[in-house]
Amino acid sequence: MLASLAQINSTPTFKEVQEQALKLGWDDVGITSAIIPEADIEAYKEWIDNERHADLEYMKNEIRCYPEKLFPGAKTAIIFISYYKQEKLPFRSDAGLVASYARGKKYHNVHHKRLKTFIQWLEKRSNKKNIAKGFSDSTPVLEKALAVQAGLGWFGKNTLLIHRKFGTFILLSGVFTTLEFSEKVLEMRLPRCGSCQRCLDACPVQAFDAPYKLNAKKCLSNHLIESKKELPIHVIENNPGYIFGCDICQDVCPHNARKPLSNTWDFSPENGMGAYLTLQDLEKLQEEPEKLYGTPLQRRGLKGLRDTAETLDLRITGF
Ligand code: B12
Ligand code: SF4
Ligand code: SF4
């Protein structure tokens, strides 16, 4: 009896977890069970069966539905929110626009640093070792499904997590732990967009096969960030001016209206490649390609960015 009481007390409370999370720079946190809801597993399988994942072969790894396989003994998922919203800027004829999340530092690096410190704290606080595994995008996990279950927000028809306070301009990361928390939230996913379908209507390439069903084969974001192949003609013809990523289905979402910009220094344009890339910028990068390191644009690489710039037919200002 005494032993089990001591065990319970060695698990931090939600309030303690929240204090740590905010101290390390996250904007919100939720705690839920390390089990992916059945409805999300089914939707994921349907998405793969219909080949909506395009060339994203890593998405076929079903382990993302089973945290227990990824981290044996996982009981709890702690999900963190980072608010990153940057200024909504116009398209330019002399420069390609960079999506809001990608203007500063690479969020994976920002999160990995915080996750490491958080896990160290969790181990010290609970007096146990090897009790947690962190993730942020690069580990196969259905992150949004866990965030919804943790009560942090809900799915929008644009498939993104709409955080109840911050809207969609947020990034996710989390920790699986073998610790059992008594304060877990188990929220069910529910449709909350009502009759709104601004994101579906605004998408320049009609990438949504239906509400909540994004077809990556069509999506600009997929082609301008991930694709290693030549840009397909529908992207070239319908790209309004992005050189990396796409924010249109977020810009039109009423849940993002009148939100302040993020005050997290790591995500500000001064810390990365900024909001626009001109041909001159790309030429300079040819000399110093290391400038891309540590920014999200590294994923596409200089060649990919140049290929996109070519399709945008950029003109150099001042010439
Ligand atoms: C693959 C991927 C992509 C792909 C595919 C996107 C997609 N929707 O799947 C591409 C390259 C296109 C992409 C683009 C972007 N991405 Co991305 N991406 C991912 C990744 C790695 C996996 C997503 C996934 O699991 N897809 C599988 C499918 C099945 O999931 P889904 O489409 O969300 O389907 C769910 C819902 O639709 C729901 N559902 C289905 N039917 C119904 C019906 C009802 C009624 C309801 C309520 C729900 C519901 O169930 C499904 C399963 O949970 C995650 C990181 C991670 N590990 O989770 C980041 C992630 C989703 N991406 C992120 C970001 C920031 C972006 C971009 C905004 C980047 C940009 N500016 O260009 C765009 C946004 C495009 C968009 N509208 O989604 C963030 C999103 C944060 C948020 N607010 O949700 C994530 C979480 C990364 C992170 N760690 O922060 N991405
Ligand atoms: S990211 Fe852009 S292309 Fe992709 S679904 Fe959203 S609006 Fe459409
Ligand atoms: S734009 Fe409308 S339909 Fe799309 S996610 Fe936002 S609230 Fe939902």
Coil, strand or helix at 310: helix
* 221 ligand 2 Cβ < 6 A: yes
* 159 ligand 1 Cβ < 6 A: yes
Q: CB–CB of 208/199 below 8 Å?
A: yes
Q: CB–CB of 191/43 below 8 Å?
A: no
The residues near 234 (Cβ < 8 Å, ≥ 6 apart) are 205, 218
Q: Is 313 left (phi over 0), alpha (psi -120 to 50) or beta?
A: left
Q: CB–CB of 244/99 below 8 Å?
A: yes
The pLDDT score that the predictor gives to residue 316 is 47
Report CA(158)–ligand 3 centroid distance (Å).
6
* 255 ligand 3 Cβ < 6 A: yes
Which pairs with CB-CB distance under 8 Å and at least 24 residues apart come from 224-231?
A: 224/300, 224/308, 225/102, 225/296, 225/299, 225/300, 226/55, 226/56, 226/299, 226/300, 227/55, 227/304, 228/55, 228/304, 229/55, 230/307, 231/307, 231/308, 231/311
Q: In terms of Cα–Cα distance, which of 207, 125, 223 is closest to 160?
A: 207
* 203 ligand 2 Cβ < 6 A: yes
Active site residue 28: no
In this structure, the residue with its CA closest to atom 91 of ligand 1 is 222
The pLDDT score that the predictor gives to residue 8 is 52
Q: CB–CB of 204/220 below 8 Å?
A: yes
Q: Is 256 left (phi over 0), alpha (psi -120 to 50) or beta?
A: alpha
What are the average pLDDT values for consecutive 10-residue runs of the chain, which has 319 residues?
A: 53 97 98 98 98 97 98 98 98 97 98 98 97 96 98 98 98 98 96 98 98 98 93 97 98 97 97 97 95 96 95 63
Residue located via tokens 């915080």: 114
> Which of 137, 209, 251, 307 is flagged as catalytic?
137
Q: Sort strands 132-135 and 208-210 into parallel, antiparallel or unpaired.
A: unpaired
> H helices of 12-142, where?
14-23, 38-49, 67-70, 107-126
Q: What angle do CA 216, 218, 224 make, to 5 degrees?
A: 75
The residues near 11 (Cβ < 8 Å, ≥ 6 apart) are 126, 179, 180, 181, 182
**Nearest atom within ligand 3 for CA of residue 256:** 6
The residues near 199 (Cβ < 8 Å, ≥ 6 apart) are 156, 157, 158, 208, 248, 249, 250, 252, 253
The pLDDT score that the predictor gives to residue 6 is 44
